[in-house]
Amino acid sequence: MAVVEVRDLKKTYKLGKITVEALRGVTVDIKQGDFVTFAGPSGSGKTTLLNLIGGLDDITEGEILLDGRKINDLGQGRLSEIRLQKIGFIFQQYNLIPVLTAYENIEYPLLLQGVGDAERRSRIEAALKEVNIGELSSRRPNDMSGGQQQRVAIARALAIRPKIVLADEPTANLDSKNSESLIDLMREINGRDGVTFIFSTHDQMVMGKSKRLLYLKDGRIEKEEKRP
């Protein structure tokens, strides 16, 4: 069964008197344990597609199902709950809270989930160890490199134990060494724990490490490639 089902998805934006068609009828199924990349040039619709799958934007036409449940008609409260319980987000700009330490940034969504003290501490320590930044737990984002901040963002996404991780251009601000290390880490987690990873990128290295590669052009899926 598909964990994400996208059916004839369309998204338009109004820019003054101009209507921009960001997505023009995208249909795709993503199964549990997939390691999928949506690739394409700027303006192809890949980030828009991720935002819609994550419930961060409104659908114009079509539908998206998560775990067989249609999200189109859900209110913001229910969408927020689904995001909190099932979806980990990794953003190009990290989106860490500047005044919180690495530990506290990872802890924040767990507090929202209502995870108890002992379980919360266990998950945070495990997540920090997973991404090899245990020694940075008391540092704030401004005292970390871009690669370190992205590792905190990955740890935060994993600590909630999501079914799906959505990663929008996660290597865009990193050097090639850090980029490859982080993608290799996510592939390891994908293979070991069955977490579904969905990327948007134009990074050739990320594309090369993807199990499914879907090319978007002008708001449509142009072709798909499958790899081992």
Question: Would you give per-residue pLDDT tens digits along the chain (228 residues)?
Answer: 799 999 999 999 988 888 999 999 999 999 999 999 999 988 899 999 999 999 999 999 999 999 888 998 888 888 888 888 899 999 888 899 999 999 999 999 999 999 999 999 999 999 999 898 999 999 999 999 999 999 999 999 999 999 999 999 999 888 899 899 989 999 999 999 999 999 999 999 999 999 999 999 999 999 999 987
Rounded distance between C-alpha atoms, residue 174 and residue 147, angstroms? 6
pLDDT of residue 126: 94
Burial class (CB in 10 A: 0-12, 13-18, 19+), 203: buried
Q: State the DSSP code for 141.
A: G
Query: What are residue 180's phi and psi, to 5 degrees?
Result: -65, -40
- pLDDT at position 62 is 96
pLDDT, residue 73, reads 80
pLDDT at 149: 94
The half-sphere exposure of 158 on its side-chain side, counting CA atoms within 13 A, is 25
pLDDT of res. 46: 94
> In Å, how far from its chain's centre is CA 141?
20
- What is the pTM for the complete model shown? 0.92
154 vs 132: CA distance, rounded Å: 11
Give the CA distances from residue 225 to residues 10, 153, 179, 197, 209, in Å, rounded to whole numbers and listed in that order: 23, 28, 22, 16, 12
pLDDT computed for residue 64 by the predictor:
96
Domain 31-55+75-226 architecture = 3-Layer(aba) Sandwich (3.40)
Q: Tell me, what's the pLDDT at 98?
A: 96
Q: What is the pLDDT of residue 77?
A: 87
The per-residue pLDDT for 167 is 95
